[in-house]
């Protein structure tokens, strides 16, 4: 099974963490936190019951966030003073295409103001 975790920022003052499955169904929306709290800290404070062997797509805001027995999919960061290899660049593009669909879910949550009211 494949899941995605992403930060949902309302303003400089409000932030949520959103967990979505491969069918773009929202499985979890965290409680609203202050905008100064880092994404990874919000994710660590919230239990995510993902099945063993599943894959989690996350962005660089969740760097070093891990779950036991879950494969983490994350874009490769460009090394300082160097370029990404063609293979790394294409892998990042593939992840970004999947993340784009998740951004549409984020905008739907914002449009309905679901997280801001929690």
Block residue for tokens 């997280």? 115
CATH number at residue 23: 3.30.420
Residue 11 domain-assigned? yes
Residue 106 belongs to a domain = yes
pLDDT of residue 115: 62
Q: Which residues pair with 71 in a beta bridge?
A: 55
Please check whether residue 46 lies inside any domain of the structure.
yes
Q: What is the mean pLDDT of the chain?
A: 83
63-118 pLDDT per residue, tens: 888 888 889 888 898 999 999 999 999 999 999 888 888 888 888 887 877 766 55
Domain count, the chain: 1
Phi-psi domain of 109 (left: phi exceeds 0; alpha: psi -120 through 50; beta: other): alpha
Residue 34 lies in a domain: yes
Structural domain of 46: 2-112
Degrees to nearest 5, angle at CA 88 with 84 and 60 = 85
């Amino acid at each position: 099974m494949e899941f995605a975790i992403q930060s949902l920022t309302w303003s400089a003052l409000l932030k949520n963490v959103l967990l979505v499955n491969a069918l773009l169904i929202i499985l979890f929306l965290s409680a609203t936190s202050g905008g100064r709290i880092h994404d990874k800290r919000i994710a660590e404070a919230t239990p995510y019951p993902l099945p063993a062997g599943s894959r989690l797509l996350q962005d660089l805001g969740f760097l070093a966030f891990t779950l036991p027995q879950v494969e983490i999919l994350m874009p490769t960061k460009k090394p300082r003073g160097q370029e990404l290899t063609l293979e790394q660049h294409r892998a990042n593009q593939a992840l970004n295409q999947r993340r784009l669909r998740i951004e549409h879910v984020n905008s739907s949550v914002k449009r309905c103001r679901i997280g801001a009211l929690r």
